A and B are shown apart, each in its own frame.
Chain A
Amino acid sequence: MSEEIKIGVYVCHCGSNIADKVDCAAVAEFASKLPNVTVARDFQYMCADPGQELIRKDIKEQGINRVVVASCSPRMHEPTFRKVCESVGLNGYFFEMANIREHVSWCTEDREAATEKAKALVAAAVARVPLQEPLYERYADMNDRVLVIGGGIAGIEAALKVSGGNKEVVIVEKEPSIGGTMAKLDKTFPTLDCSACILTPKMVECAQRDNVKLYTYSEVEKVDGYVGNFTVTIRKKARSVDLDKCTGCGLCITKCPTKDIPHEWEENLTTRTAIFTPFPQAVPNKPVIDRENCRYFTTGKCGICAKVCPTDAVDFEQEDELVTEDFGAIIVATGFELFDPSVGPQWGFGKFDNVITSLQFERMVNASGPTKGKVLLKNGEEPKSIAILHCIGSRDENYHEYCSRFCCTAALKLAHLAKEKTNGDVYSFYIDMRTFGKGYEEFYNRIMSEGIHFIRGKGTEVVERKGQLLVRTEDTLLGKYREVPVDMVVLMAACQPGQDTEKLAQTLAIQRSADGFFLEAHPKLEPLKTATDGIFLCGACQGPKDIPDSVAQGAGAASEALSLISAGKVKISPIVARCDEDKCGGCMICINLCPYTAISYDEEKKVAVVNEAKCKGCGTCSGSCPTGAMTNTNFTDEQIMTQIEGVLAV
C-alpha cells in the first residue's frame, strides 16, 4: 500500500427515503474530516446516471482510489457501484457500501439519532476501505442441461420452454405420473374449460420430445456443485415394472386381487389395486406396484400380475436405482399440498361423512372421477344443499396467516358446478371475495347471477344436530347469527408447502420464507430466482398460485435458466474463503458446516481445501474456525475489526 489512500465518500438522499430521517449534508460534512478522505459529497440519487458520473469524475480528476457510498443495502446497488469504479479503471473491490437506508432511515424514528448512526456507519466504511484488496472475478464452464424438479403444470411448462430453446431438460417427478394437481381438476376458472383437455397435450409432449427426459416415481437425493456445474443424484424408486417392456395394456391391473387400497390420487374417495396407474391419462401410462400393499411383497404369495403380463414387464426384483446427471441450472416446481382440515375439529372433516375438501369435490364433479361426475352423498343420494366454506386454514393465525389466493375463484367455480350438477341450494361462506385475476371479477359476477346464496361470514363450525349438518356463522352484512342446514359441506382448504419442502430446501441449499414456501431472491424484482445462483423457482412451491400464474412462472423460470446457460460461461464471485495451511489444524469443523460442500480434506497435508468454484463466501467456515486459518476475501478479520472500531469511534 505504497500509494496514498484517497477516499471519496458519497452520501445518497435516496429521494426522501434517507433524507427524511438523515441529515445527509451533515453526514458528508462529517465524512470530509475523516482520515484519508479527499472528497465527501451528498447527492439526491447516487444510483442514477448523474450520481454515478460524480464518482467517475472524482476518480479521474482527483485521483480517488477508494470509494464509499452511503445509501441502500448492498443487495440493491453494490454491483452498480462496483461497475462504476471498474468503468474508470478502479478495482470494484476498492469500494465499500454503508447501508444508511434499511439500517438507519427506515428503522429510526428520531432524526438526530438517525444522523448519528449514519455517521458511525460511514466512519466504519471509511476506516475499512483502505484495507481492502483488489479482487478479480473468474469464469467457469457452463453445462447447458436443465433439471426441473416437479412435473406439475409449472414444471411441465418450464421443461417444454427449455426444450423449445434446444436445450436438454430432465423432469424429476415423485409420483408415478406427471400432471400434478391440475390433472385432478375438472374445469378451470374463469373460462370453465376442461382441465385435462388443456393439460394432457402438454404432458404427452413432454413424453414425446427427444430432448425431454422423464424420471417419474423418482426423487432428487443429492445435489453437488454450483451454478453451471451441478451434479445431481436422482433416486428412481423401484417401480416393479420395466418401463421399456411395459406396453400399458392394463391387464395386470384388472387381475390384481388387492382392490381395497385407498386411492390417494382420487383423494381417497375410492379404492385402487396394488398395481395401478394413478389416472387414465397418466404419463407414462404404465403401472407401478405399491409394495406396501402388494400381496407378493407382504406375504410372498400371489404374483398374478407377473403371470398375466404379456410382455413379462413386471419385475419384483427391481431395486431403487441411483442415477447421476449433470446440469447447469435447476428449476424447482414442486407445487403445494392441501391443508388437512381435520387439524381444526370445528369443521367436522373426518368426523362427518359429507364434509369434504375442495379437491375431493373436484374429483367428484370430474367425469372420469370416482362418481363419474355426479355429486353424491356418502349414502349415494344427491345433496339438496351444499355449503362451500372459504378460508379453511388460510388467513388464520392459528393455521396459515397468508391468503391462499386461488380458493375464492376456485370456490366460485365449484359453486357453479354444484349448482349445475344438483340444481340444489348452494351457499358460499366467505370473508372477503378476492377475485383478483384477469376475468375473475366478471366470473364472480356471472356466478352471482346463477343464484348462489352468498353469505359474508366465515363458516366457523360444522355441527350435526339430529342427523342434519348445520353450518354456524354470522351473516356479517346483516349482523345476524345463522345456522344453515345443508347436506354437504365443501371446505376450501388452504394451499400449503408440501411435506418434503424442508428436506428439498436442505438438499438444494435454498431458503424458505416464514410461511414455509421456498423463498425468492427478491419479492418484486427477482421472483423466480433463489439466493443460490442457478436455482430457480416457479409455481406454487414459492407461494399459493393459480394455473395462469404457475404457467407464467414456469415459462419465466425457463427463460431465466436459458438466459443463464446460453451465456456459456459462469461468473464466479471473488469473495471466497481461503485456508491458511500453516494455521489449519485439520479439525474438519468447517467441512461439516459448509452449506455448499465447498471444502474438502487434503489427506496428505492434513488441511482443509476450499473449492473456490463452489464457495459462496458465506463466512460460515471462517466464523467457526478455531485456529483462525479460514478467512474470507473482502471480509478478513482485520477488515472487520477495523470496521467495528470505526463504528465505536464515533
Chain B
Amino acid sequence: MSAPAEYLREEELDHNLIYEVASFPGGHKIFSCQQCGSCSGSCDMAQDMDYTPRKMIEMIRAGMRKEVLGANAQWLCTTCYYCTVRCPRGIEPTEVLYAVKSIGIRDRGVDPNNDSPKFYETFCDTVHKFGRQHEPTLMAIYAFKGNPLRLMGFAPLGIGMLAKGKLGLAPSRVKNVDEVRKLIDRYRNKV
C-alpha cells in the first residue's frame, strides 16, 4: 500500500476511474454517494481497513487510481452486504469493491504483498479446469503459488478435513467443461 499523497496533484488523478467502476454491475449509482458513512458504520471490517468503504468511494470519485487499487479495504470485504442494504442512496458498495478488486487483478495494481488475488485467480483456474471447485487442488496450488509456509498454516485444517471425509479427493467434474471454460475465457479476455 502506498502512502497517500500529501496533496492531490491533478495530473496524477484518473478521472475515468469512476466511470470504469460505474460500468460494473451494481456500480452505476456510485455518483450519488452523499458520503454519510453508513457503509463504514455497517461494516464489521472497517476497523481493519486502511481506507473505509466510504473513503474508497470518495477516492474513486477523485480518481486516486493507484491508492484505490493498492488498498487493502477491498480484500478485507467479506461481501456481507450490510452496506448495500443500508445505503441511503441505493449504492452497492459491495459491488463497487468487487469492481475495484477486478480492475486491480486485471491491471496488476494490487500490493504485491497481498496474496488475495493469487487465491482468487487460483480459484478461477481450478473452476476453469474442472468446471467446479476442488478444494484440495485449490489449496495446494494457492499455497505453492505464494508463500510455501502458508501450506503449513492450512495443513492442520486440511488433515482434519481429510480425517472427517470433508476433502473430496477426486475432483467432481462438469461433463461439458468446455462451456464453463468458454465463459471464463470470455470474461478474462474482456477484462
A/B contact in complex, CB under 8 angstroms:
yes
A-B contact count (CB 8 A): 68
Complex: how many Å from CA A396 to CA B85? 11
Point out the residues of chain A lying under 8 angstroms from B55, CB to CB: 476, 479
**Interface residue stretch chosen among A90-98, A419-427, A457-465:** A457-465
Report if A476-B36 is in contact (Cβ < 8 Å); known contacts: A459-B41, A481-B47.
yes
Complex: how many Å from CA A59 to CA B185? 74
A-contacting residues, B62-99, CB 8 Å: 85-86, 88-90
Q: How far is the CB of A476 from chain B (nearest CB, A)?
A: 4
Q: How far is the CB of A134 from chain B (nearest CB, A)?
A: 53
B-contacting residues, A428-445, CB 8 Å: 431-432
Of listed B41, B43, B54, B88, residue having the most chain A CB within 10 A: B41
What is the chain A residue whose CB lies nearest that of B43? Answer: A481
Point out the residues of chain B lying under 8 angstroms from A396, CB to CB: 88
What is the chain B residue whose CB lies nearest that of A396? Answer: B88
B138 at interface by CB-CB < 8 Å: no
Q: Is the interface of B mostly helix, strand, loop or mixed?
A: loop
Q: How far is the CB of A391 from chain B (nearest CB, A)?
A: 8
Point out the residues of chain B lying under 8 angstroms from A395, CB to CB: 34, 36, 88
Point out the residues of chain B lying under 8 angstroms from A461, CB to CB: 41-42
What is the chain B residue whose CB lies nearest that of A398? Answer: B88
Point out the residues of chain B lying under 8 angstroms from A472, CB to CB: 41-42
Point out the residues of chain B lying under 8 angstroms from A458, CB to CB: 36-38, 41, 88
Contact with B along A450-475 (1 / 0, CB 8 A): 00000011111100000000001111
Residue pair A476, B42 in contact (C-beta under 8 Å): no
Q: How far is the CB of B3 from chain A (nearest CB, A)?
A: 14
B122 at interface by CB-CB < 8 Å: no
Point out the residues of chain A lying under 8 angstroms from B19, CB to CB: none
Complex: how many Å from CA A456 to CA B37? 9
What is the chain B residue whose CB lies nearest that of A458? Answer: B36
Report if A474-B54 is in contact (Cβ < 8 Å); known contacts: A457-B41, A461-B41, A481-B47.
yes
Residue pair B52, A481 in contact (C-beta under 8 Å): yes
Report if A431-B52 is in contact (Cβ < 8 Å); known contacts: A458-B88, A460-B86.
no
Contact with B along A395-407 (1 / 0, CB 8 A): 1111000000000
Determine which of A397, A456, A474 lies in contact with B88 in the assembled complex, contact meaning CB atoms within 8 Å. Answer: A397
Complex: how many Å from CA A391 to CA B49? 26
B16 at interface by CB-CB < 8 Å: no
Complex: how many Å from CA A279 to CA B130? 74
Q: How far is the CB of A494 from chain B (nearest CB, A)?
A: 11
Point out the residues of chain B lying under 8 angstroms from A524, CB to CB: none
Point out the residues of chain A lying under 8 angstroms from B38, CB to CB: 458, 460
What is the chain B residue whose CB lies nearest that of A346? Answer: B86
Complex: how many Å from CA A480 to CA B37? 10
Point out the residues of chain A lying under 8 angstroms from B114, CB to CB: none
Point out the residues of chain A lying under 8 angstroms from B172, CB to CB: none
Q: How far is the CB of B32 from chain A (nearest CB, A)?
A: 9
Residue pair B88, A481 in contact (C-beta under 8 Å): no
Residue pair B34, A460 in contact (C-beta under 8 Å): no
Complex: how many Å from CA A431 to CA B49? 22
Point out the residues of chain A lying under 8 angstroms from B86, CB to CB: 346, 398, 460
Point out the residues of chain A lying under 8 angstroms from B34, CB to CB: 395, 431-432
Residue pair A473, B90 in contact (C-beta under 8 Å): no
B-contacting residues, A465-508, CB 8 Å: 472-476, 479-481
Point out the residues of chain B lying under 8 angstroms from A475, CB to CB: 37
Residue pair A397, B41 in contact (C-beta under 8 Å): no
Complex: how many Å from CA A475 to CA B37? 8
Determine which of A346, A391, A480 lies in contact with B52 in the assembled complex, contact meaning CB atoms within 8 Å. Answer: A480
Point out the residues of chain B lying under 8 angstroms from A391, CB to CB: 36, 88
Complex: how many Å from CA A481 to CA B85? 19
What is the chain B residue whose CB lies nearest that of A397? Answer: B90
Q: How far is the CB of B85 from chain A (nearest CB, A)?
A: 8
Contact with B along A178-202 (1 / 0, CB 8 A): 0000000000000000000000000
Complex: how many Å from CA A458 to CA B38? 6
B22 at interface by CB-CB < 8 Å: no
Point out the residues of chain A lying under 8 angstroms from B54, CB to CB: 474, 476, 479
Of listed A398, A456, A474, residue having the most chain B CB within 10 A: A474
B23 at interface by CB-CB < 8 Å: no
Point out the residues of chain B lying under 8 angstroms from A431, CB to CB: 34-36
Residue pair A481, B40 in contact (C-beta under 8 Å): yes
Report if A457-B90 is in contact (Cβ < 8 Å); known contacts: A476-B54, A481-B47, A481-B52.
no
B184 at interface by CB-CB < 8 Å: no
Complex: how many Å from CA A431 to CA B35? 8
Residue pair A460, B89 in contact (C-beta under 8 Å): no
What is the chain B residue whose CB lies nearest that of A390? Answer: B36
Complex: how many Å from CA A472 to CA B28? 27
Complex: how many Å from CA A456 to CA B36? 8
A-B contact list, 18 entries, CB within 8 Å: A395-B36, A398-B86, A398-B88, A431-B36, A456-B37, A458-B37, A460-B38, A460-B41, A460-B86, A473-B37, A474-B37, A474-B40, A474-B41, A474-B46, A475-B37, A476-B36, A479-B55, A481-B52
A interface residues, Cβ below 8 angstroms from B = 346, 391, 395-398, 431-432, 456-461, 472-476, 479-481
Q: Besides A346-B42, A460-B37, A474-B41, 18 other CB < 8 A contacts?
A: A346-B86, A391-B36, A431-B34, A431-B36, A432-B34, A457-B41, A458-B36, A458-B38, A460-B86, A461-B41, A472-B41, A473-B37, A473-B41, A474-B52, A476-B54, A480-B52, A481-B43, A481-B49
